[in-house]
Amino acid sequence: MKLPRMRCTATLLGLSLLSLGAASPALAQDISRIAFGSCGDQNKPQPIWSPILRDAPDLFILLGDNVYADTDDPLELQAAYSALGSIPDFARLRESTPIMATWDDHDYGQNDIGKDYVSKDASRRIMLDFFGEPLDSERRTRPDGIYTSHIFGEEGRRVQVILLDLRWNRGELMTLTDPQQLAWREAQQMGPYEANLRADAQLLGEAQWAWLETQLQVDADIRLIGSSIQLLADFTGWETWANFPHERQRFFGLLEQYQREPVVILSGDVHWADYSEIRASGMAWPLIELTSSGLTEEWKAVSPNRHRVGEAFAVANYGVIDIDWRSDVPGVSLQIKDETGMVLLERTERFQP
């Protein structure tokens, strides 16, 4: 049985506009263009911010690996964020554009680390300080992560942005040890991890699952769900939701129960860009995912994915979502652009009833 929609405001979600960017201007009621990206090494040139600025998004979303620190030392993490903040075009973006951010492994702590990371509290404080999160924000004190949500726009043009935390509670990654199987995986451009089939294997944690179920009942006309790792991709042997199949199926189950409006999954992590789509029974529209990775990082050994539509692009890139409000059900134009602003991938989804 589907429950009635819940109405809420930004303050009820525990966010203020200041948390969308420390020096952001007052936010317009409606947003139509959202840009996003992930995986930017603060010690490498980052020309990509120039075309992002030219695109003038109403909101920019960072999906993780926003810096590469890979450390247990808070001072080293602080230095990494300081280096990012000193990049002139990124500084201009912070001054002109609201920003929402979550983390992945390299800015949370160590490569592929999960709940056992020893400096998670310091890491949270440093990240939220950098992005101007209010001192009274729930993200600073929750015992189970930095997940967050925000509603933009008035009734009829409501965009909900949900950012998940896939690090704080993430359980053990199961690693393949057989040399022959590892060699076969490598030949297929796949990684060493196995699916964790244990009943207690988790990505989100129970509190975050309960929160997400509540968020999916909030009144919105379109939802953007930010996941630092890929959700729809087939099992690749690298970090994806497919390593935790029970959690992945639980996510699909929530959408089948509550989805009445278009949902777009945004993801990063893999160091290539692609578009995936699943047409599942019980869902009002296809479930789609646009992956943008990385702002500086490129991984040429692209893993297979039967849900991928079209090509993958292993060059520095960012994503752009334009929302078309002219229909009762909003449509979206999805793009991946390279570091010069050239369009590499383009899709239009109309979400016809």
| pLDDT digit string, tens, across residues 271-305 | 999 999 998 766 778 899 999 999 999 999 999 99
Spatial distance between the Cα atoms of 267 and 242, rounded to a whole number of angstroms: 14
Whether 346 is in a domain gets the answer no
User: Which CATH number covers residue 165?
Assistant: 3.60.21.70
Whether 78 is in a domain gets the answer yes
Contact predicate 84/93, CB 8 Å: no
Average pLDDT over residues 260-268: 96
Whether 58 is in a domain gets the answer yes
The per-residue pLDDT for 285 is: 82
Whether the per-residue pLDDT at 241 is higher than 80: the answer is yes
Whether 50 is in a domain gets the answer yes
Average pLDDT over residues 188-208: 95
Whether the per-residue pLDDT at 8 is higher than 70: the answer is no
Helix (H) and strand (E) counts for the chain? 8, 14
DSSP string, 126-191: HHHHHTT--TT-GGGT-TT---EEEEESSTTS-EEEEE---STT--PPEE---HHHHHHHHHTT--
Task: Give the residue numbers spanning the domain of 68.
Answer: 17-329
Whether 6 is in a domain gets the answer no
Q: How many domains does the chain have?
A: 1
Query: What is the residue-averaged pLDDT of the chain?
Result: 91
Contact predicate 22/94, CB 8 Å: yes
Whether 334 is in a domain gets the answer no
Average pLDDT over residues 65-94: 98
pTM, to two decimals: 0.92
Whether 352 is in a domain gets the answer no
For residue 265, CA distances in Å to 55, 95, 183, 213, 268 come to 21, 27, 32, 16, 10
Whether 23 is in a domain gets the answer yes
